[in-house]
Amino acid sequence: MSAAYRNSFSKLVLNFYLYYEGLTDRAETSEEERAFTEEFGRILKGFLGGQEDLESLEALRNRIVEKTEILTAFSDCFQIYEYVLNRVERRFLVMKDSGRTPAGLAAELVQHIAGLEDDAGRNEMLREIIAQLPVRFTRQKFYSLVMERFSVLTGVSKASIEDFLYMLKTSAMVQLPEHMEAEEELYRILSELRNMDYRGLSREEFESCTRSLAHASRLLLDQTDEHVLMAEMINDLYVLFLTRQEALVEAGEDQDFKTCLSRILDAVDKEEDSLVGEEGRRLLERIEGIQEAVEEIIQAGTDRDDPVLNKIDRLLSGSSFMSLEETEDSGGEADREFVEKKAEEFCEQLDKMFGSMPKAVIRAVMAKVLSGLPMIFRDSQEVEDYIRSSLESCTDHGEREACMELLEQELMG
């Protein structure tokens, strides 16, 4: 409890200072962000005054989580259209050929994967490569691949499969959250990309789409950074509410925390351009080392079956938007029949969506899905053959060259 209190208080102070600096640096802030900031400031002032309002804090956290789900959905959608635009670019640009063949590039990529230090890194690199490969499957061949990849999930808990499917559906635009239209500028850009004729795309339309996509990426990056920081601050304040009665902390250190937060809150209220003076900066410097001092205790977590301690572990997990409620998996393990049924339902949803999509976008969605499914390659030779075959089967020379260029960037990265 004491380590969690010290960790979260120091982190909250430093993150709130960063958030405050971001507010002062921006020329203008949205009405929604001002509302988030005001509500968080109100709850924080209550905490410093000895009050407790976990209900309001949970409500604010839920609003941030919902907003972030919408932003993530936009990001997934834009990645699909970026895949499309990257592959039509060669119609309008002549670029230098690297001289690599599909077979040579496939061998280099597999060698690069093998040289990575850990399994997680190798798996992530393989997913990134598969996401960039050209897709030339018929729908039926694609669905059979989906069914085959799903089969390895037999024996996994049903709840885990449902979570995996939700992630897969949202990333492939099969299932999108409500109220995306409330983000007017992002929704306008997404509508523009959806309604484009990619087969007959002109240079002017291509350049317009590229500019719109770049603009959307900047908007998403700014908003996502703000919401992640706000979520972290909410999680840390939540921990303080849960631990302040039990934590043992030196009075001077506790006062440093509270003084810093009070000064930042005062600066926000007065719309001042900087934190008050040198003394405030010295306080921040003293606080910076506290997280490192309690790091091992925080990482170890708790092995006690205690609902409060378990909630604290979730809040400190590093996953800012994790559910705070423990859910019992009453469904048990998934048998083959359950897995096949879920895979078939997913394929049916994809097929319905594909009916109204241009072929270029269908291929982008297929690539996205394949990169998200479990990998079933038996050895590195199978991986190399898959990469080579995907490149060689693409008869559109411009698209193949674009794919190879993107894959070459993976080698340099």
pLDDT score at 104:
94
State pTM to two decimals.
Answer: 0.86
Tally of helices (H runs) and strands (E runs) in the chain: 18, 0
Residue 280: band (very low, low, confident or very high) from pLDDT cuts 50, 70, 90: low
Average pLDDT over residues 51-60: 92
Report which listed range, 183-187, 251-255, 269-273, 285-289, is most confident.
183-187
pLDDT score at 279:
64
Torsions phi, psi of 270, nearest 5? -90, 0
Compute, in degrees rounded to 10, the torsion defined by CA atoms 317, 319, 325, 327: -100
pLDDT score at 274:
59
Contact 389, 77 (CB under 8 A): no
How does DSSP classify residue 157?
B
Average pLDDT over residues 175-191: 94
Average pLDDT over residues 29-48: 88
Q: Would you say residue 319 has pLDDT above 90?
A: no
Largest Cα–Cα distance in the chain?
A: 71
Residue 370 corresponds to which tokens in the numbers above? 């394949």
Average pLDDT value for the chain: 88
Q: Among 55-69, 242-256, 297-311, which stretch is predicted with the lowest mean pLDDT?
A: 297-311
Q: Would you say residue 276 has pLDDT above 60?
A: no
How does DSSP classify residue 380?
H
Neighbours of 364 (CB within 10 A): 26
Beta bridge partners of 157: 333
List, as one string, the DSSP characters of 302-323.
--S--HHHHHHHHHTSS-TT--
Tokens 């997680």 label which residue?
120
